Amino acid sequence: MRGLLVLAAVALALAGCSIQPDASPNDLPDEVANVFGDPATGDEAAGTNRIYLLAPTDLDAPQRLRSVQRDVLTAPRSVLASLFAGPNGSERDALIDTAIPSDVELLDARSVGQLLTVDLNDAFDELTPDGLRLAVAQIVSTATDIDGIQSVQLRIDGEPRVWPLGNGELTQRPLTKYDYPGLVESTQPAFPAIPSPIQ
């Protein structure tokens, strides 16, 4: 009799701790918003072209750019349009983001030799200095990954401006990926530590 009472007490305790199924329907969000409150609209992560977005990071670590694949035409307009579309839903779920405002518009993109001139609207005017540095680094890193492009001249509504380099200094000259050292995540796998010599 005592054994039955113990079994009954254990069964009641387990029943009280179990998770009960919820039969009522639950609404799921249709869209995942980015830091600017806009929906994730990026293209599928496939293909041979690459764009540069912001990798997830710890609060005390500096932000880095991460390359992701895109199946778009190699023409600068197509690649930049994919960049400006931002992360797709899967990338958002993985906390990959963008510093480029959702209302940025590509007005023109023309290459002369290895220089690509990119003309944008004034959507960058609302960014903080650090946000602007990251957004410009995203554009420059993406554009210089296009075959034949070595440098980028950014303009706003046709007018030249000064732009931040990776170290925060401002310049009006064309920008290259070498102006943003340390901002792009390394694709080099981590090597094992060299073992200490045996004593």
pLDDT digits (tens, 9 = 90+) for 97-136: 999 999 999 999 999 999 999 999 999 888 999 999 999 9
Residues of the chain scoring pLDDT < 70: 1-47, 187-199
* pLDDT at 33 (0 to 100): 40
> Residue with structure tokens 């200490």?
196
Q: What residues contact residue 131 under an 8 Å CB cut-off, 6+ apart? A: 99
- Residue 106 parent element (H or E): strand 106-112
Taking phi first (over 0 means left), then psi (-120 to 50 degrees means alpha), and beta for anything else, what does residue 26 get?
A: beta
Residue 146: name the closest of 58, 73, 76 by CA. Answer: 76
What sign results for the dihedral spanned by CA atoms 11, 12, 13, 16? positive
3-state secondary structure of 115: strand
* pLDDT at 44 (0 to 100): 57
